[in-house]
Amino acid sequence: QNYLDNFWPDLKAAHELFDSIVQARHERESESQENHGKEYPEHLPLEVLEAGIKSGRYLQGALNVNKHRAQLEAFVRLQGFGSKDTG
């Protein structure tokens, strides 16, 4: 802000851009505080997910994404199921 005020006081577009960036940053920080520091809010409460996993309604695993075709190819490797398991 000081740099713009001192060296470019008449450059309206730069001042508007700076104000926009500051506002976006404040909004992101407030959203982060609302989500307890997480960038994205959880879809379901943790208790519901844990109960669902325990009951078998939900499955838990690791998401694997193809680094060359990330938008097209991905799969979930379920915990407890390896290549040696037959069940």
Lowest mean pLDDT of 20-29, 37-46, 56-65, name the range: 37-46
Residue 84: the pLDDT is 54
Q: What φ, ψ does residue 34 adopt, rounded to 5°?
A: -65, -30
Instruction: Please state, in angstroms and rounded to a whole number, the distance separating the CA atoms of residues 31 and 37.
Output: 8
Kindly tell me if the per-residue pLDDT of 87 is higher than 50: no
